[in-house]
Structure 1
Amino acid sequence: MSKMMQVLGELPLERVQLFRDVTRESLQGIVDSCDLREIASGEILLRPESVNHELFILLAGRLRVHLKDLDSDPVATLEPGEVAGELSVLDGKPTSAYVVVDEPGRVMVMPRELVWSLATVSHAAACNLLTILSGRVRQADRTITEQMLRERSFHCYGTVDALTGMHNRYWLNDMLGRMVTRSIRSGTPLAVMMIDIDNFKEFDDSYGHLCGDRAIHTVAQTILDNLRPTVLTARYGGDEFFVAVPGVVVGQALEIAERLREAVAATPIPHSPAPLAPVTVSIGVAGVSSGHGVDDVIAAADAALYRAKALGRNRVSQ
């Protein structure tokens, strides 16, 4: 029995991507010159950075494709009729992925020179190769896009505080440095605030950590609700928050801070069966001056906060 008949016995020609609409006369000699190989589960047909001169046409079984390593999730699976190794065969460059046998079966192995011969004698085969390649490019684009979205999501999770929805200190250190530099270079004012919940440890000890978390969340939401979206806000750590207001001098920032203090003092803490009395905050306000770095700005706001605490808490200080 010829290899052509063997192939036809396993898989109709129209099911093979490369052979679709190709006449049998064009295929006869080429198919008979190919090897038919049994493949076992776990067998590696292609490895990254390896030189490959063969096109694998899957007749039975299933293959999976891994980009990074064999322990990573497969980016694609190949079913009977699909091909593997076409990119490295056509451009002569090392392969870029693992192709591993997922279910045992059989492949037709077509050497590189036969692939080019088929594309030369059959217009349909050449079109099929282009279709296969365009499908690979589209799949690669989807994979890259999905990876970028995942990375953005992970970055977001790495810079956003889960309890408050505010950005965290990691994000603050990066963004505040840019804001300070921009303010000094342009001469545009920038005011900052350090906000701390008064007597938070006593509140946490009295009502428990769950109520403590609710208090932190409530204060954070109150701050966010009373500031413009352009204002930088972050959870500095524990029950402390940091705010940077661009385009505002210290005098204006003191007025904004006072409104925040009043809003927090008027917002009860959610609790069952009845809300708890509002907590209060102390706020230190400082401005950015020439020669200031991020540490200087934070230190100035922190010193102002301690002055507010020393004056009796629940107040704003410069």
Structure 2
Amino acid sequence: MEQSPLFQDIDRYLINLWLSSCTEHSFEAGQVVIEAGTRTNEIFLLLSGELRVHVEADGAESLRTLEPGEIAGEVSILTGSTTSAWVTATQPSRALGISREELTQWVQQSHQFSLNLLQIANHRLHSSNLHARHQHREKRKLQAIAMTDGLTGLLNRHWLSLNAQRFQGVSVLALDLDHFKSINDRFGHGAGDQVLQAVAEQLRQGTRPHDAVMRLGGEEFVIVVDMSRGDGDPLQLAERLRVAIEELHIPLCGDEGADQLRVTISIGVATQARQESWEQLLERADQALYSAKNKGRNQVQLA
């Protein structure tokens, strides 16, 4: 145990004196040593075997592995808080239990022991902070994935459901590709996906960064135009997008020499009236879109 970071640069006689009063524990493989959310009155100094620290009861996500000479539970003891992680024996293990009272006495008897304990706790807290930052980044990635259409990279219906009620003073463009089913039927769904991706990219390039471009599903798209900037005319934007889509030449399977698809799009435009709800606004844009479809497609209709 003299090799343990806890006892670095401390007289062997004092270490033996301290350890003689500790209680030895034996743990079977899979046995829980420390349960998260509980209060413990002792830390565990591992003598043999292996302990694993994890954040969930099932151990799916491991923080670190403890080897002989390392301790567990010190952060909870030092902060006086409940434990924040689970500790489980991964194999038959033995550990010394060091009570809070014994730990306090050792701190009072040895300045070096205090430094060792603080260095260990600081290292653990630093590791926990790194883990928390990693978890935060992963959470943000997952949130971004959940709000993004997997095929086109545009925002999706989930993003819309979370943000729609915040829209004020906006215009909505409801867009629908014309005769899209015939493309899937004639050329296959792979070609249909290529068309959707090409159209999505054109919509992305043709709008401002602060406008929201979404694919709601199938061949349906919605663009929310921020009117507060004062530099956007939704009707002119819709017409520019219609023309840009009509001029697209989409090669099948990326082969420039193959047959190229031409597509058109119908667009309905509605601008939010005072105290008009998002649902009412979208319904008016949809009605304008249906009017564009009924009047022959490949055109823009204003609600």
- Same fold at TM > 0.5: yes
Measure the CA separation in 1 of the matches of 2:117 and 2:231: 67
Q: Which residue of 1 aligns with 2:4?
A: 16
Q: Which residue of 2 aligns with 1:215?
A: 195
Q: Which residue of 1 aligns with 2:24?
A: 36
Measure the CA separation in 2 of the matches of 1:98 and 1:251: 55
Note the residue ranges of structure 2 that are not aligned, 5 or more in a row. Answer: none
Shift in Å, 1:193: 0.5
Q: Structure 1's 75 and 218: CA in aligned 2 closer, same or farther, altered over 3 A? A: same
Amino acid at match of 1:219: V
Q: Which residue of 1 aligns with 2:143?
A: 155
Measure the CA separation in 2 of the matches of 1:277 and 1:98: 58
Q: Which residue of 2 aligns with 1:311?
A: 295
Shift in Å, 1:101: 0.8
Q: Which residue of 1 aligns with 2:67?
A: 79
Q: Which residue of 1 aligns with 2:206?
A: 226
Identity fraction in percent = 35
Candidates 273, 276, 289, aligned match of 1:289: 273
- Partner of 2:186, secondary structure, is helix
Measure the CA separation in 1 of the matches of 2:44 and 2:91: 15
Candidates 249, 253, 257, aligned match of 2:234: 253
| Cα offsets for 1:94-133 (capped at 9, x unmatched) | 3332211113232222222211111111111001111111
Measure the CA separation in 2 of the matches of 1:279 and 1:264: 7
| Contact 1:261-1:283 within 8 A present in 2 as well | yes
Q: Which residue of 1 aligns with 2:246?
A: 265
- Partner of 2:24, secondary structure, is strand
Counterpart check, 1:206 vs 2:186 = yes
| Contact 1:285-1:317 within 8 A present in 2 as well | yes
| Cα offsets for 1:204-250 (capped at 9, x unmatched) | 11111111111111111111111111111101221010011112789
Amino acid at match of 2:174: M
Amino acid at match of 2:262: P
| Contact 1:283-1:304 within 8 A present in 2 as well | yes
Map residues 105-254 of structure 1 onto 2, 5 A cutoff: 105-180=93-168, 183=169, 190-247=170-227, 252-254=233-235
Measure the CA separation in 2 of the matches of 1:243 and 1:233: 5
Query: Quick check: 38-47 or 144-153, which moved more?
Result: 38-47
Q: Structure 1's 37 and 277: CA in aligned 2 closer, same or farther, altered over 3 A? A: closer
Q: Which residue of 2 aligns with 1:63?
A: 51
Amino acid at match of 1:264: I
Amino acid at match of 2:292: A
Normalised TM-score (structure 1): 0.88
| Contact 1:34-1:110 within 8 A present in 2 as well | yes
Q: Which residue of 2 aligns with 1:5?
A: none
Query: Quick check: 194-203 or 245-254, which moved more?
Result: 245-254
Measure the CA separation in 2 of the matches of 1:120 and 1:249: 69
| Cα offsets for 1:157-216 (capped at 9, x unmatched) | 111000111000121233232122xx2xxxxxx221111100111121111111111111
The alignment's C-alpha RMSD in Å is 2.0
| Contact 1:52-1:92 within 8 A present in 2 as well | no
- Partner of 1:18, secondary structure, is helix
Measure the CA separation in 2 of the matches of 1:133 and 1:90: 8
Shift in Å, 1:302: 0.6
Q: Structure 1's 166 and 32: CA in aligned 2 closer, same or farther, altered over 3 A? A: same
Shift in Å, 1:91: 4.1
Query: Quick check: 17-26 or 116-125, which moved more?
Result: 17-26
Amino acid at match of 1:246: D
| Cα offsets for 1:251-274 (capped at 9, x unmatched) | 921111111111111112231451
| Contact 1:17-1:83 within 8 A present in 2 as well | no
Candidates 96, 118, 123, aligned match of 2:84: 96
| Contact 1:164-1:220 within 8 A present in 2 as well | yes
Q: Structure 1's 277 and 91: CA in aligned 2 closer, same or farther, altered over 3 A? A: closer
Measure the CA separation in 2 of the matches of 1:151 and 1:195: 32
Q: Which residue of 2 aligns with 1:54?
A: 42
